[in-house]
Amino acid sequence: MLLFLSGLATYFATTRLLESERWVAHTHEVRGAIGDIDSAVLRAGRARSGYVLSGSDDFSNQFEAAVADIPPGLQHLRELTQDNPRQGQLCSRLEDMVNRRISLLRESMQLYKDSPGDSQGQEDLARQAVPVSSDITSIMHRMRDEEQSLLDMRETKSHGLLILTVVTLAAAFVLALELFAVNYRLLTAELTAREQAEQNVRDSEESLRRLAGRLLQIQDEERRKFSRELHDSLGQYLAGAKMNLEIYATQRNDGCLSEAVQLIDQAIGETRTISHLLHPPLLDEAGLCSAASWYLDGFAKRSGIDVKVNLPENVGNLPKPIALGLFRVLQECLTNIHRHSGSTKAEVALDLLPDRVVLKVRDYGKGIASEILTGVRTKGTHSGVGLAGMRERMRDLGGHLIIQPASPGLLVVASLPRPERTEFQPAAD
């Protein structure tokens, strides 16, 4: 649009300049036509005077030649001034006065032919020609002044339009420079944002690679731990029960049978404990609040940490991915509190917002190092897998994880979007 405006302004400026040049040429042409008529009238007057003084036919021929030039000159002047009514009226008056002047000159020459010695008649005709000549001079002067006035007005208007055009071009140029500057800033910002996004993608990929490697390591550790648990607890109980049963089979000792039954009961209890730790059945059967309450009670008893719980009663059955994600975050937070914080108390709260479900876990321990916290916030990197795992789990579910110092201790906030306006059904009893 600026280029179009600049081109339009240049076009109008060029048009006005050309028009101004045409009007200047027109004014000079009008003045020339008036001068030609004036010259023809003067030549006719001089030829009449020469004829009256000498009676030579050469002056008569000169008179006729001068008179013959006057009608074309008047016609040309009328054509030049036809666009101006005032000039047209003056041109009509000039034509009448010129014809009157030529008529008086003819009468004077005819009078000389008829009565060469009639000086009185010549003087009368001369007196009649004086006001006519004065009127012709006055009309020509007025026409010249009118044409000059029109030229001045047109030049003033053209000059104003030229200034306006120059100002428009300057403003368009300045606006174009400003738009180029704005466009440059926007492109720079876009390139910076793109580079930042690419850097974030690279950091995220690096974080995911570290997380994947750490997950494999944790998986192997968990398998070894699970293997030890099975061998040291469940395997020992089953081995003891087997030996007692073998003794009972050979010796029929009822004490061995009862001891075998006790060992099998302990094995069943250990199996239930391991199963609940891997995936609490209450999470599927009774919902997040019941599973969280059961887990928090067991955690408080095992760790000796005083846990303040604030769970709503009307949570209902959250979708399984959301409930499982929040429960795993709760497990990881409490595990970190027990292992690293040194806190003697903790707080757990679950808030139901119109569009989100928010889990808050806080401890009152020694907190977390600022460089580790910065790495988790910006790049998702961490020496362990817990915080990064929680962060990736929340991101996969469409939520986010906030970790911030609480003075003292640490506050972890996990937020997940609530399903679109579906009423939660009450959990089973």
**pLDDT at res. 190:** 93
Q: Is the pLDDT of residue 421 over 50?
A: no
- Give the C-alpha separation, 271 to 11, whole Å: 93
Q: What is the mean pLDDT of residues 184-205?
A: 89
**pLDDT at res. 425:** 43
- Per-residue exposure over 275-302, b if at least 16 CB sit within 10 Å of its own CB, e if not: ebeeebebbeebbbbbbbebbbeebbee
**pLDDT at res. 277:** 61
CATH number of 280-417: 3.30.565.10
310 in Cβ contact with 347 (< 8 Å): yes
Element (H, E) at 156: helix 119-229
Dump pLDDT digits (tens) for 226-244. Answer: 777 666 666 777 877 788 7
**pLDDT at res. 229:** 67
Distances (CA, A) of 204 to 120, 396, 404, 414: 124, 13, 21, 20
Dump pLDDT digits (tens) for 249-281. Answer: 787 777 777 887 887 887 787 776 666 566 666
Q: Is the pLDDT of residue 424 over 50?
A: no
- Of 4-8, 303-307, 372-376, the one with minimum mean pLDDT is 372-376
Instruction: Considering only residues 120 and 211, tell me which one the structure prediction assigns the higher pLDDT.
Output: 120
- Could you tell me the pLDDT band of residue 348, with boundaries at 50, 70 and 90? very high
Element (H, E) at 292: helix 288-303
Instruction: Considering only residues 139 and 209, tell me which one the structure prediction assigns the higher pLDDT.
Output: 139
Structure tokens at 107: 């009468």
Dump pLDDT digits (tens) for 35-47. Answer: 999 999 899 889 8
- Could you tell me the pLDDT band of residue 372, with boundaries at 50, 70 and 90? low
| 3-state secondary structure at position 24 | helix
Helix, strand, coil shares of the chain, percent, nearest 5, are 75, 10, 15
- Give the C-alpha separation, 200 to 211, whole Å: 16
- Give the C-alpha separation, 311 to 360, whole Å: 11
- Give the C-alpha separation, 308 to 361, whole Å: 10
Distances (CA, A) of 225 to 55, 218, 258, 386: 150, 10, 31, 17
The closest of 343, 341, 290 to 318, measured between CA atoms, is: 290
Q: Where are the beta strands (DSSP E) in 207-355?
A: 306-310, 345-352
- Could you tell me the pLDDT band of residue 426, with boundaries at 50, 70 and 90? very low
Percentage of the chain modeled with pLDDT above 70: 86
**pLDDT at res. 429:** 37
| Domain locations along the chain | 2-180, 280-417
**What kind of fold does domain 2-180 have according to CATH?**
Four Helix Bundle (Hemerythrin (Met), subunit A) (1.20.120)
- Of 55-59, 132-136, 287-291, 340-344, the one with minimum mean pLDDT is 287-291
CB neighbours of 115 closer than 8 A, spacing ≥ 6? Answer: 121
